[in-house]
Structure 1
Amino acid sequence: MSVVVCGEAMLLMLAEPGIPLERATAFRRSVAGAESNVAAGLARLGHPVRWLGRVGADPAGKSVLAMLRADGIDTRHAVVDPHAPTGLLLRDSHPSRAIDVQYYRAGSAASRLTPDELTSEMVDGARLVHVTGITPMLSDSAHLATVRLLDLARDAGATISIDPNVRLKLGPPDRWRERVAPLMARADVVFAGEDELELLQVDPGGLPGLAVVKHRDKSAGCAGLRQEAFSVPVTDPVGAGDAFAAGFLSGMLRGMPYETCLREGAAVAALVVQCANDIDGLPDRAGLDRALAASTEAGETVHR
Structure 2
Amino acid sequence: MTVVVCGEAMLLMLAEPGIPLERATAFRRSVAGAESNVAAGLARLGHDARWIGRLGADPAGRSVLAMLRADGIDTRHAVVDPDAPTGLLVRDSHPSRAIDVQYYRAGSAASRLAPDELSPEMLDGARVVHVTGITPMLSDSAHRATLRLFDLAREVGALVSFDPNIRLKLGAPEQWRERVAPLLGRADVVLAGEDELELLGVDPAALGGPAVVKRRDKSATLGELRQEAFPVPMVDPVGAGDAFAAGFLSGLLRGEPYEICLREAAAVAALVVQCVGDTEGLPDRAGLDRALAGFAEAGETVHR
Q: Do these two structures clear the TM 0.5 threshold for a shared fold by scoring above it?
A: yes
Partner amino acid for 1:9? A
Partner secondary structure for residue 80 of structure 1? strand
Instruction: Map 1:23-172; keep pairs closer than 5 Å.
Output: 23-172=23-172
Secondary structure of the corresponding residue to residue 98 of structure 1 = coil
Question: What percent of counterpart residues are identical?
Answer: 83
Q: Distance in 2 between matches of 1:42 and 1:197?
A: 25
Partner of 1:260: 260
Counterpart of 2:12? 12
For 1:21 and 1:274, how far apart are their aligned partners in 2? 20
CA deviation map 1:37-85 (0-9, x unaligned) = 0000000000001000000000000000000000000000000000000
SS at match of 2:175: helix
Structure 2 residue aligned with 1:243 = 243
Which residue is 2:220 aligned to?
220
> Could you give the per-residue CA deviations for residues 119-142 of structure 1, whole angstroms, max 9, x where no partner exists?
000112200000000000000000
Mapped partners of 2:2, 2:17: distance in 1? 36
SS in 1 for 2:37: helix
Residues 165-199 of structure 1: CA distance to partner in whole angstroms, max 9, x if unpaired? 00000000010001001111100100110100010
Q: Displacement, 1:287?
A: 0.1
Q: Deviations over 1:147-181 (max 9, x none)?
A: 00110001110010000000000000010001001
Q: TM-score, normalised by structure 1?
A: 0.99
1:281 deviates by 0.2
Query: For the residues of structure 1 that align with 2:165 and 2:209, how far apart are their CA atoms?
Result: 17
Q: Secondary structure at the match of 2:129?
A: strand
- Which letter maps to 2:285? R
- Distance in 2, Cα, partners of 1:131 & 1:303: 35
* Letter of the structure 2 residue corresponding to residue 230 of structure 1: F
What 5-or-longer segments of structure 2 have no aligned partner? none
After TM superposition, give the deviation of residue 113 of structure 1 in Å: 0.3
Aligned-pair distance for 1:300?
A: 5.8
* Secondary structure, aligned partner of 1:282: coil
| C-alpha separation in 2, matches of 1:115 and 1:300 | 50
CA distance in 2, matches of 1:261, 1:96: 29
Distance 2:256 2:121 in 1: 28
Shift in Å, 1:223: 2.4
1:183-194 superposed matches below 5 A: 183-194=183-194
Q: Which runs of 4+ in 1 moved over 3 A?
A: none
- What is the identity, as a one-letter code, of the residue corresponding to 1:108? S
For 1:256 and 1:107, locate their aligned partners in 2 and report how far apart those are by CA, in whole Å.
41
Give TM-score scaled by structure 2 length: 0.99
Equivalent position SS for 1:76: coil
